[in-house]
Structure 1
Amino acid sequence: MKYDGEAPQEELATGERSTRNRVARSILDHGPSTVAELAQRLGLTQAAVRRHLDALVADDVVSPREQRVYGTRTRGRPAKVFALTDGGRDAFDQSYDKLAADALSWIADQEGGEQAIAAFARARIAAQAGAYRAALAAAAPEERAEALARVLSADGYAAAARSAPHPQKGEQLCQHHCPVAHVAEQFPQLCEAETEFFAELLGTHVQRLATIAHGDGVCTTFIPKTSHTPHDDVSPKTDNASASNASSASTAGRNPA
């Protein structure tokens, strides 16, 4: 079959969809991104990225927003970033959100309200804690944030650790995806239990700066620089002492920002 140097229209359309999916996937994996960042990661021209973003915005897969700045704001207008919409996340995340939300609502009604949800959230994390404890126990103290990011990524959270912006002294743990974000919108105890667990694993207080469940493009947790090292046997607890200790972990899923 001869194409006279041109691919058939359906092949061109398939290529366009594939590249468009790569753009959306890059935003999922790395969080809200500028045109320049997407072009660099994907090896595309900025003009090509803008064209695909225009189509994704028209399809309500991504939306433009002003880039949030933590710490000291520099001069000049903040760069525009593109973040996944709820519909865009749903395209990647096959979940049973309504079933989960209904189950948690039943637990709250039947078993004691918010305290029952908090107990469930901690028990859920405790059941999954083994791999996290092992990963951090094997890492050097200065590499524990990165180790936590790796094990979170293995569980579908597309996480990364990076130095916190000046003047903060520490690191930021960024989770670019949350498989339970829609449920956590209704039940912030899920985010709170997760933040408590991070504090226990890392052996220091942490502060949740932003959450996807609250409408931010990425879940961001600040980990201050500390000389303390976590206990190798750290695991989530549900007693009052743990709750008191975790109160400094943050205002968690209710995003103080």
Structure 2
Amino acid sequence: MHAGSAAAEDHSAVQDSHARTRERVARAILENGPSTAAKLGDRLGLTPAAIRRHLDALLADGVIEAREERVYGQRGRGRPAKVFVLTDAGRDEFEQAYDDLAVGALQFLADTGGDELVTAFARQRVADLEKRYRPLVEAAAPGERTAALAAALTGDGYAASAAQSPVTDGDQLCQHHCPVAHVAEQFPQLCEAETEVFARLLGTHVQRIATIAHGDDVCTTHVPRSTGEPGPHTEDSAERIS
């Protein structure tokens, strides 16, 4: 083999390795929500220099963007930490299940049958989720049902997590990925029907406080909890709150 060919193959292998690592970084942001460079490096076992290099590449490609970290309660001294979130283009890299046909079909329903028909379609769409999730949620202990629902959602690609709310007596159910986010931008009935299912499964009134469809980083649902009821036992829960 000529030296030039060997060098080209080595360069190609390095590029492939970098591409796979960048995909791991983007997926870590997708699954865990807004993340600092330090936490991403810890999760993926990358040095500060390496994680910065991959983050710079993802920023240049428009896959991620940098924002100031949200701070709950009283803010300490100094500037808020910088966190990295996926852009719409970055989410598209993870095979979001929407297209112009879906939007067109729902618009046709709205034009011919009104919003009530769109709502009926949205409720029918999530009926299967409710049927499949109910045994899993009801089998969990009362304090673990939000976590059980999060696990079921994760199995369907929603990259969900459950944690104690940082500001209220309750839990937060976070979905870091939404396969129909772009469709839901125009048809919020999809989000509303999903929220109704969560309330029925958890047996309590829940409140959707953020959605990816409306430009938030994570779909976040507040689940009130009875006094004294333990919260979900999830690792790194504070990191997963939107």
TM bracket, shorter-chain basis = 0.7 to 0.9
Amino acid at match of 2:196: E
Contact kept in structure 1, 2:96 and 2:178, CA below 8 Å: no
Aligned to 2:86: 84
Percentage of identical aligned residues: 59
| 1:219 corresponds to | 219
**Counterpart position of 1:233:** none
Q: Does 1 or 2 have the higher relative contact order (CA < 8 Å, sep 6+)?
A: 2
RMSD: 1.9
Q: Normalising to structure 2: TM-score of the pair?
A: 0.87
Structure 1 window deviating more from structure 2 (122-131 vs 39-48): it is 122-131
Q: Say if 2:208 is the partner of 1:208.
A: yes
CA, structure 1 residues 39+121, in 2 after alignment: closer, same or farther (shift >3 Å)? same
TM-score with structure 1 length normalisation?
Answer: 0.82
Q: Show the 5 A alignment for 1:59-70.
A: 59-69=61-71
2:16 counterpart (14, 17, 23): 14
Give yes or no for contact 2:62–2:90 (8 Å, CA) kept in 1: yes
Whether the aligned pair in 2 keeps the contact of 1:24 and 1:84 (CA below 8 Å) is yes
Name the residue aligned to 2:238.
none
1:1-257 alignment to 2 at 5 Å? 8-69=10-71, 71-76=72-77, 77-112=79-114, 114-165=115-166, 167-226=167-226
Aligned partners of 1:73, 1:92: CA distance in 2, in Å? 36
Shift of 1:208: 1.3
- Separation of aligned partners in 2, 1:162 and 1:63: 25
User: Residues of 1 paired with 2:168 and 2:2: CA distance?
Assistant: 61
Deviation at 1:157, TM superposition (A): 0.2
The runs of 5 or more residues in structure 1 that have no matched partner are 230-257
**Structure 2: runs of 5+ lacking an equivalent:** 230-242
1:242 alignment counterpart = none
Q: Deviations over 1:116-175 (max 9, x none)?
A: 21121111111332111111111111110110001000111000101111x411111110
Amino acid at match of 2:108: W
Q: Tell me, in whole angstroms, the C-alpha distance in 2 between the residues paired with 1:27 and 1:169.
A: 27
Matched length: 223
